[in-house]
Amino acid sequence: MRNDPGVLPRVLLAVCAALVLAWVGVLLRDHYVGDSAANALLFQPGMSDGEIRHNLDQLQDSGFLNPSSTADLARAQYLLFHGQPRAAARVAEELVRSEPRNADAWQLLLSATRDTDPARSQEAAAELKQLNPLAKL
């Protein structure tokens, strides 16, 4: 048994499988936390300031080890819909810097800067039109 050449590959395969399962667990947890927080922020009016802060923190935490931009988009949408276009624009700017081909991020940047920075809004519109010629501006 000690000199069996098949043991090491099987052990390595088992370790890799355990790591993959752990990663999937983290991604599922992040997805659940992010969706719950986004739904609360976007569809539950009348939350207290503490509940809002908690859900915004949950959205940010859900991005830990998760490459998806969904939580950041939801956070920026919340900020925009609740009268904080500059904060929404900062989040959208981070997204377009890290994901320049993300049409949703460009659309959000366009909306967030429409009144506060018309020049940047025009740049966002041009980028969005290049990514999606059928986009409604």
Give domain 69-137's CATH number out of 3.40.50.620, 3.40.50.300, 1.25.40.10, 3.10.580.10.
1.25.40.10
What's the CA gap between 29 and 122, in Å, rounded? 38
Domain ranges of the chain: 1-67, 69-137
The tokens describing 85, both together, are: 């276009």
Tell me the whole-structure pTM to 2 decimals: 0.71
- Residue 75: per-residue pLDDT: 86
- Region for residue 122 given its phi and psi (left: phi exceeds 0; alpha: psi -120 to 50; beta: otherwise): alpha
- Residue 109: per-residue pLDDT: 96
What is the 8-class DSSP label of residue 101?
A: T
Taking the mean position of all CA atoms in its chain, how far away is CA 33?
12
Give 35 or 89, the one with higher predicted confidence: 89
Closest by CA to 123, choosing from 99, 91, 96, 98, is 96
pLDDT, one tens digit per residue, over 39-93 is 888 788 888 888 888 888 888 888 777 777 888 898 899 899 888 999 999 999 9
Whether residue 8 is predicted with pLDDT greater than 90 in this model: the reply is no
